[in-house]
Amino acid sequence: MRIKSVLKKCTSFLSTILFIALLSVLFLSLASKAAGNEVSLFGYQVKSVLSGSMEPDIQTGSLIAIETGGDGERFQENDVITFHSEEGVLVTHRIVEVKHGGQQYVTQGDANNGIDRNPVLAENIVGQYTGLTIPYAGYVMNFTSSREGAALLFIFPGILLIGYSLITIRSTLKEVKQLMNEKEIRA
C-alpha cells in the first residue's frame, strides 16, 4: 500500500510539472506571436540561433537570452551582440572593433573567416548576449512560431490533459470497484 501512495504522489507531481511546463510554453508562444516575436521579460529577450556562425560557443538551433535596453553605445570589443542587419535579419556576432566612439561596431561570427561586410550602427543593436544558451531549444521555438507548430501547441496539451483525465478516471473507478467488492465480502 505504501508503494501505491508514493507512486500516486510521484505521478501527481510529474503531471503538475508537465502541466506548468505546457502552460509556460503556450504563454511564451502566444506572447511571442502577439508581440511580433519580441517578447521581453525583466529586460531580457529569448532568441533562436539558426546558423552556425557563432559555433562552438553558440550551437546552431540554440535558444539564447539577450539583455535589452540601455545605451547602444555601451558595448566593447569581444561583447557578443544581437542586431538587425541591413537586410532586417537578426544576427548575433562578436564585436571585433568599436568605431566613432561607439556609434558603429565591426562584427564577426566566431566561425566566420572574415569580418561582416558592413559595420553595425548603435541604433540597430537589440541587445547583448548574456551567456545563457539552451541547446536545440531554438528549433522548438522556431517550429512553434510556424502555423503548424502553433496548431500542434494548442492540440498537444489538450490531448495530454484528456489522456491524463481518462487515466485518473479509470484509476478512480478501479478503486471504487475494489471498495465495493470489499464491502460485499464483509457483508
In whole angstroms, give the CA distance from residue 134 to residue 140. Answer: 11
Q: Are 14 and 25 in contact (CB under 8 A)?
A: no
**Residue among 82, 72, 23, 71 nearest 47 (CA):** 82
51, 53, 85, 145: which one is catalytic? 51
Place of cell 568599436: 98
Phi, then psi, of 96 in degrees rounded to 5: -110, -15
Q: Are 20 and 12 in contact (CB under 8 A)?
A: no
51 is catalytic: yes
Give me the active site residues, please: 51
